[in-house]
């Protein structure tokens, strides 16, 4: 599917609301999300069958032109085939919205496309495996792009195709007023279920005016933010943002709920290695575990949203590190605490919020030793273990908290790069994402000569990662 490109001055944003559906409406929601899963699984089995049949025919020496016609996995091909077979494969198809089946076909097309791109080297990261069928009790979701999609003027209901008017648990005033004023246009709506609760997420094209709200005055020009584990973040101003550690706080309840669920009769018999009918108590125990995980995720997301919104509103320039979190979690002693803190969320949130409030985001080079460098005399320590929580400089005698010292070094990085920022990045109306370094005198030659060898090597490795993005 072609990605939607908003017009100039507009940005794509999501508005998510919790729903309060009736029993009948819950049945309709499950019916449509189940239709998406059914279309996904059926067409996946068809693609697998055609692939196996062609391989078998080729092993017998059948010519390429005489092989079974290939089942294309682009969205138009999958949709064309589905429309031809849906009358006898799913005679109940008229009870659901056509957008529900299109959701499953679009997801399958994307999954197969990603598998092919990963196999041919066009996709970075780990190699993706062949798509797997979706389970019945897995995550339920369906996306609507056409039909009656709107929020009611009473600010308490949403309207979806074939599902009708569904009450929301919270007010939809923010989105409704933007739509009425003509500064927002609803593109699609996605319904999903999380731990027994239903949500509706609207994808909206919004014309946003860049600026700071009146209740958030500027408190400083530059701030360095060092994400950590003991503290959610440490600012160069000396502020220590506490880490709620929601997963650690829920470990006792989660362990008790999982032990209780393991004693219930589940859908798989470990003795006979066969499937069986799960008991109602097993379903209730699984719902309890899912609710605990949903609470942990909600607390973590709320903490990061509050912090990143405050930073984007109160500071002109924000400097963060380019953390390699995937490599950091390989340390089994820190993996649980790192995933609980989710430090990569800081950069992702600030990437678009700085564009909303007119501030600028700088991402420091991944190889910059912010923790080993003295913020007073810029002396770099050759070694600094994780157990040393206080930075003691042997040159100038400064003693400072390790994380505060790193945050101050990050803030000092942008003092000499203002003249190097391209375009509108100097005005603060965007987010400059890329490695930043102090710029000594002497032009490009002077800068190259004054850098240590590890800096030049790191710059060569990250040359392709320098991106300039503007979130309008």
Looking at residue 225, its pLDDT comes to 92
CA-to-CA distance for 317 and 363, rounded, in angstroms?
Answer: 11
A 10 A CB-CB count for 311 gives 24
Ranges of each domain in the chain: 10-23+140-207, 34-120, 220-247+290-469
* pLDDT at position 364 over 50: yes
Residue (of 428, 411, 434, 423) closest to 360 by Cα position: 428
Q: Alpha carbon of 155 to those of 17, 24, 35, 81, 206: distances in Å?
A: 11, 22, 29, 41, 18
* pLDDT value of residue 394: 79
Percent of the chain topping pLDDT 90:
54
User: DSSP letters of 392-427?
Assistant: E-TTT--EEEHHHHHHHHHHHGGGG-GGG--GGGGG
Name which of 302-306, 310-314, 396-400 the model is least confident about.
Answer: 396-400
pLDDT at 435 over 90: no
Report the alpha-carbon distance of residue 196 to residue 284 in Å, rounded. 11
- Asked if 202 and 175 count as a contact pair (C-beta separation under 8 A), the reply is yes
Matching residue, tokens 């005198």: 441
Residue 270: pLDDT band (50, 70, 90) is confident
Which residue, chain included where needed, has tokens 């003991």?
Answer: 230
The answer to whether 401 and 392 have CB atoms below 8 angstroms apart is no
pLDDT band at 208 (very low <50, low <70, confident <90, very high): confident
The pTM (predicted TM-score) of the whole model is 0.80
CA distance 364 to 370: 9
pLDDT value at position 252? 95
Determine the pLDDT at residue 163: 92
Q: Maximum CA pair distance of the chain?
A: 81
Active site residues: 226, 321, 403
19 near 164, Cβ under 8 Å?
Answer: no
- Give the rounded percent of residues in the chain with a pLDDT score beyond 70: 85
Q: Residue ranges of the alpha helices (H) in 265-359?
A: 280-314, 325-328, 335-341, 344-357
Rounded Cα distance between 79 and 86, Å, is: 10
Q: Please state which of the ranges 173-182, 278-287, 326-335, 448-457 shows the lowest mean pLDDT.
A: 448-457
The Cα–Cα gap between 279 and 172 comes to: 39
Partners of 17 in beta bridges? 200
Which DSSP helix (H) or strand (E) runs through 223? strand 220-227
The pLDDT of residue 117 is 94
- Top pLDDT among 186 and 136 is at 186
Give exposure, 11-41, as e/b (b: 16+ Cβ within 10 Å): eebebebebebeeebeebbebbbbbbbbbbb
State how far the alpha carbon of 73 is from the alpha carbons of 82, 111, 200, in Å.
11, 10, 28
18-to-97, 170, 192, 349, 398 alpha-carbon distances in Å: 21, 7, 10, 22, 51
pLDDT > 80? residue 344: yes
């Amino acid at each position: 599917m072609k990605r939607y490109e908003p017009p100039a001055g507009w940005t794509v944003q999501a508005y998510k609301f919790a729903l309060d559906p009736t029993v009948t409406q819950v049945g309709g929601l499950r019916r449509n999300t189940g239709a998406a899963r059914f279309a996904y699984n059926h067409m996946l089995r068809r693609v697998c069958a055609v692939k196996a049949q062609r391989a078998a025919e080729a092993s017998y020496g059948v010519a390429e032109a005489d092989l079974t016609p290939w089942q294309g996995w682009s969205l138009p091909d999958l949709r064309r085939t589905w429309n031809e077979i849906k009358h006898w494969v799913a005679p109940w198809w008229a009870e659901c919205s056509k957008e529900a089946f299109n959701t499953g076909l679009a997801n399958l097309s994307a999954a197969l496309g990603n598998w092919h791109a990963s196999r041919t080297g066009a996709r970075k990261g780990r190699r993706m495996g062949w798509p797997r069928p979706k389970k019945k009790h897995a995550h339920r979701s369906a996306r609507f792009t056409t039909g009656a999609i709107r929020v009611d003027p009473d600010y308490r209901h949403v309207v979806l195709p074939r599902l009708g008017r569904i009450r929301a648990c919270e007010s939809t005033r923010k989105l409704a007023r933007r739509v009425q004023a003509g500064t927002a246009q609803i593109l699609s709506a996605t319904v999903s279920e999380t731990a027994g609760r239903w949500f509706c997420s609207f994808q909206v094209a919004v014309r946003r005016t860049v600026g700071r709200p009146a209740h958030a005055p500027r408190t400083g020009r530059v701030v360095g933010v060092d994400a950590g584990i003991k503290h959610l973040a440490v600012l160069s101003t000396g502020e220590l943002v506490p880490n709620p550690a929601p997963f650690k706080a829920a470990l006792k309840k989660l362990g008790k709920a999982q032990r209780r669920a393991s004693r219930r009769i589940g859908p798989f018999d470990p003795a006979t290695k066969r499937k069986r009918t799960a008991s109602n108590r097993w379903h209730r125990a699984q719902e309890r575990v899912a609710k605990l995980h949903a609470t942990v995720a909600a607390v973590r997301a709320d903490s990061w949203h509050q912090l990143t919104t405050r930073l984007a509103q109160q500071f002109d320039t924000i400097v963060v590190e380019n953390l390699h979190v995937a490599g950091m979690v390989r340390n089994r002693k820190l993996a649980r605490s790192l995933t609980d803190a989710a430090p990569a969320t800081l950069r992702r949130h600030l990437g678009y919020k700085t564009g909303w409030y007119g501030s600028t985001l700088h991402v420091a080079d991944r190889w910059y030793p912010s923790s080993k460098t003295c913020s007073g005399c810029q002396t770099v320590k050759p070694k600094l273990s994780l157990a040393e929580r206080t930075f003691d400089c042997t040159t100038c005698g400064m003693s400072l908290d390790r994380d505060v010292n790193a945050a101050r070094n990050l803030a000092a990085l942008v003092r000499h790069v203002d003249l190097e920022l391209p375009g509108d990045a100097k005005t603060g109306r965007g987010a400059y994402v890329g490695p930043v370094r102090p710029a000594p005198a002497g032009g490009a030659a002077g800068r190259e000569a004054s850098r240590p060898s590890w800096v030049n090597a790191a710059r060569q490795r990250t040359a392709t990662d320098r991106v300039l993005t503007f979130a309008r």
